[in-house]
Amino acid sequence: MNASVTPPLQTPSAQLPTRTLATLLRPLFKACVPPLLGIALFLFVWSLIAAKSTGLPGPLSTGQAALLLFADPFYDNGPNDMGIGWNILNSLGRVGVGFGLAALVGIPLGFAIGRFAFLASMLSPIISLLRPVSPLVWLPIGLLVFEAAGPASIWVIFISAIWPIILNTAAGVASVPQDYLNVARVLKLSEFKVLTRILFPAVLPHLMTGIRLAIGVAWLVIVAAEMLTGGIGLGFWVWDEWNNLNVEHILIAIIIVGLVGLVLEQSLVWLAKRFDYAS
pLDDT of the residue at 266: 84
Measure the CA dihedral 218/221/222/228, to 10°: -160
Enumerate the β-bridge partners of residue 76: 82
CA angle 105–87–209, rounded 5-degree value: 35
pLDDT tens by residue, 164-209: 999 999 988 888 777 777 777 777 777 777 777 777 777 888 888 8
pLDDT at residue 1, rounded to an integer: 47
Kindly state the percentage of the chain with pLDDT values over 70.
90
Q: Where are the domains of the chain?
A: 84-274
Alpha helices in the chain (DSSP H): 12-15, 21-52, 59-69, 84-115, 117-130, 139-146, 149-174, 178-186, 191-193, 200-229, 234-243, 247-274
- Kindly report, residue by residue over 3-59, the tens digit of the pLDDT: 555 555 455 544 444 457 667 677 777 778 788 888 889 888 988 988 888 888 888
| Orientation angle between helical segments 139-146 and 149-174, nearest 10 degrees | 120
Separation CA 234–CA 57 (nearest Å): 20
In this structure, are residues 218 and 99 in contact, taking their beta carbons and an 8 Å threshold? yes
| Of 178, 168, 155, nearest in space to 225 by CA | 155
Question: What phi and psi, each to the nearest 5 degrees, are found at residue 82?
Answer: -125, 155
Whether the model clears a pTM of 0.85, i.e. scores above it, the answer is: no
Contact 92, 234 (CB under 8 A): no
Least Cα distance to 160 among 108, 87, 94 occurs for: 94
CATH code assigned to 84-274: 1.10.3720.10
Which letter does DSSP use for residue 194 in this model?
A: I
Q: Nearest CA to 114 among 197, 162, 173, 200?
A: 173
